[in-house]
């Protein structure tokens, strides 16, 4: 990662150079196929729950107390979302969430409750079409990377930190060292000395400086 070209550092070898604007993560269809397979195995053999749960969490899917219901969390690095992605989120809310609405979290995620387990991979595919991912939004992983909501537009910034945030987030997702950490890891990026992303409240915070 360099100051001149922060987006050139990308951990996953399949990251295309033509990643669409607003798409921070690469999404992989094979992961959704695998989720389908693992879900069916678990449903046939509930005694495998101790193996299935950590995997399900890494795919951004939490079990609820209600039978077969899940909460799904979607990462929005730096809280960024475009019109195409808003449409995808609306489709998930209307067609797959029992509450027919989502929640915005303090870490700039979107969460949907009461999603049936057998619809989870469908939700992942809808989101992937718009460049959104649930990957590692839960579990002992590097969680969604938060950023200053004014980055790129505020007069207080020293420079726009969002490209560096995106490169950091891409480096961590699917990274072998981040798949089973001792605990979840939370990171923030602020664009100047006012520390608009609240670095003291994170495990690690980056604050722009010149």
The whole-angstrom separation of Cα 95 and Cα 99 is 10
Task: Tell whether the model's pLDDT for residue 80 goes beyond 60.
Answer: yes
Task: Tell whether the model's pLDDT for residue 36 goes beyond 90.
Answer: yes
User: pLDDT tier at 82 (50, 70, 90 boundaries)?
Assistant: very high
- pLDDT tens profile 45-57: 988 888 899 999 9
The whole-angstrom separation of Cα 7 and Cα 4 is 9
CA–CA distance from 130 to each of 157, 169, 196 (Å)?
29, 18, 28
- pLDDT tens profile 116-130: 999 999 999 999 999
Task: Tell whether the model's pLDDT for residue 11 goes beyond 80.
Answer: no
Write down the mean pLDDT value for the chain: 89
Q: Are 163 and 6 a contacting pair, CB within 8 Å?
A: yes
Would you tell me how many other CB atoms lie within 10 Å of the CB of residue 124? 25
- What is the per-residue pLDDT for 183? 96
- What is the per-residue pLDDT for 10? 43
- What is the per-residue pLDDT for 9? 39
pTM of the model as a whole: 0.88
- What is the per-residue pLDDT for 7? 41
DSSP states along 80-100: ---HHHHHHHHHHHHHH-TTS
| Among the ranges given (81-85, 90-94, 128-132, 152-156), the one the predictor scored with the smallest mean pLDDT | 152-156
DSSP states along 134-196: -TTSSSSSB-PPEE-TTTTT-TT-SS--HHHHHHHHHHHTT-GGGSS-SS-B-EEEESSTT-T
- pLDDT tens profile 21-35: 678 888 899 999 999
- What is the per-residue pLDDT for 200? 96
Q: Are 156 and 191 a contacting pair, CB within 8 Å?
A: yes
State both tokens at 125.
């595919």
Q: Which domains does the chain show, CATH number per domain?
A: 29-129 (3.90.480.20), 142-207 (3.30.413.10)
User: pLDDT tier at 6 (50, 70, 90 boundaries)?
Assistant: very low
């Amino acid at each position: 990662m360099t100051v001149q070209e922060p987006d050139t550092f990308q951990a996953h070898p399949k990251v295309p150079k033509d990643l669409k604007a607003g798409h921070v993560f690469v999404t992989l269809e094979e992961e959704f196929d695998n989720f389908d397979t693992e879900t069916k195995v678990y449903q046939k053999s509930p005694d495998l729950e101790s193996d299935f749960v950590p995997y399900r969490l890494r795919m951004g899917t939490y079990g609820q107390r209600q039978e077969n219901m899940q909460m799904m969390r979607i990462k929005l690095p730096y809280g960024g979302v475009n019109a195409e992605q808003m449409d995808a989120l609306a489709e998930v809310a209307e067609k797959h969430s029992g509450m027919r609405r989502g929640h915005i979290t303090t870490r700039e995620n979107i969460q949907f409750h009461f999603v049936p387990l057998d619809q989870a991979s469908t939700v992942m595919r809808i989101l992937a079409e718009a460049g959104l991912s649930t990957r590692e939004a839960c579990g002992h992983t590097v969680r969604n990377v938060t950023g200053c909501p004014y980055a790129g537009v505020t007069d207080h910034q020293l420079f726009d930190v969002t490209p560096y945030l995106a490169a950091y987030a891409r480096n961590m997702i699917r990274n072998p060292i981040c798949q089973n950490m001792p605990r979840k890891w939370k990171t923030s990026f602020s664009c100047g000395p006012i520390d608009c992303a609240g670095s003291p409240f994170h495990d690690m915070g980056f604050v722009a400086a010149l």
